Amino acid sequence: MGVFVFMIWQGKIAVSNKGEDSISFLNPRFRREEHRIHLGAGTGPCALAKMKDTSTLLVVQALDSSLACLDLDCGVVQKILPVGRCPSCIAVCDRTHTVYVTNADSDSISVVKNGDDMDVVSQIPVGSAPQGIDCHPYLSLLAIAHINSQDIWLIETEGYRLVKRMVIEGYPVQVKFSSKGDILYVGCYFHNHGLFNRVLLVDLSKGAVYHEIAVGCIPHTLLETDDGSFLLVTSCDAEGVLEVIDLASKSVVRSIRIGEAVCDITLDENGMYAYVTVPKEDRVCVVDWKAGRKLADIRVGREPSGIAYLGE
């Protein structure tokens, strides 16, 4: 495994390169890759999350069915935790320092606690083929999207009791709580029926969908902007677009062509520019999402998937 000398990771953007088992570190100021760490061969890093107020970067490793804990200060993986089969998505609760990983092939979520030492404390059975997962901003609540069972589960995180199951028409792939905690965004697609792809808005006080927003893409990742006014949606279909939803009008106001099968997204420190991974083209695209235009491409490793702004 690679080691950095005098690595400065604060303010950088990390990218997991699934096709070559590495992590790229981008400098958003100069829009270039500055460093690259190579992980274990055959691990398949696919999703990233930064533990708040720590130097730990969490790396979901799909091919190795594990979670790697990378110390950013020294650029070394300090611990590898086994999770369920084919892990895909990760969510971190900053209030409790708890990490949740969805395991698509074992129909479960792994629960990782960060106490004196990080460790997997439980495997919770959920619906069929869990994908997207998110933690409520202030309640002890998880949302999980299941593709095969075509439903959304809301689970409380103290006893992991199922609070509500919502059957979804279509295939829910991603979930995201609003910053205010009153709405759950759900990204759904219809196989071979692109015109019906949409983002659902769920009123959490009523536990019901109250609005549907048609999108022209398969909604792979959902990201609310810092001021809560817009929702950015990336597409994993052949067209590869970034769509910008105005949450006041509940409509798509911009559709920005990125490249084939775009994957994950993060914003820079000021929320001005979006960084979008394009796995089939080995690059990260920098987008001015407000103006609706591409600004630059940054070459990274093979098959970039997950991406995260590291902050301080």
- The answer as to whether 47 is a domain residue is yes
Q: Which amino acid is at 149?
A: S
Spell out the per-residue pLDDT of the chain, length 312, in tens.
444 445 789 999 999 999 999 999 999 999 999 999 999 999 999 999 999 889 999 999 999 999 999 999 999 999 999 999 999 999 999 899 999 999 999 999 999 998 678 999 999 999 999 999 999 999 999 999 999 999 999 999 999 999 999 999 889 999 999 999 999 999 998 866 656 899 999 999 999 999 999 998 889 999 999 999 999 999 877 678 999 999 999 999 999 999 888 999 999 999 999 999 999 999 999 999 999 999 999 999 999 999 999 987
Domain of 240, CATH number, reads: 2.130.10.10
140: exposed, middle or buried (Cβ count in 10 Å: 0-12, 13-18, 19+): middle
Total of domains in the chain:
1
List CB contacts of 270: < 8 A, sequence separation 6 or more. Answer: none
Residues of the domain holding 130: 13-309
What pLDDT, on a 0 to 100 scale, did the predictor assign at position 172?
95
pLDDT confidence of residue 195? 66
pTM of the full predicted structure? 0.95
Which pLDDT value is given to residue 192?
A: 62
pLDDT for residue 132: 97
Q: Is residue 5 part of a domain?
A: no
- The rounded radius of gyration (Å) of the Cα atoms in the chain is 18
- pLDDT given for residue 194 in this prediction: 59
> Is residue 4 situated within a structural domain?
no
Within a domain: residue 241? yes
**With contact defined as beta carbons under 8 Å apart, do 69 and 78 qualify?**
yes
Q: Is residue 195 part of a domain?
A: yes
The answer as to whether 8 is a domain residue is no
pLDDT of residue 5: 47
Name the helix (H) or strand (E) containing 273: strand 273-278
Is the backbone of residue 170 left (phi > 0), alpha (psi -120 to 50) or beta? left
Whether 1 is in a domain gets the answer no
Amino acid at 123: Q
For the beta sheet containing 208-214, the strands, ordered from the edge strand earlier in sequence to the opposite edge, are 171-177, 183-189, 198-203, 208-214
Residue 3 lies inside a defined structural domain of this protein: no
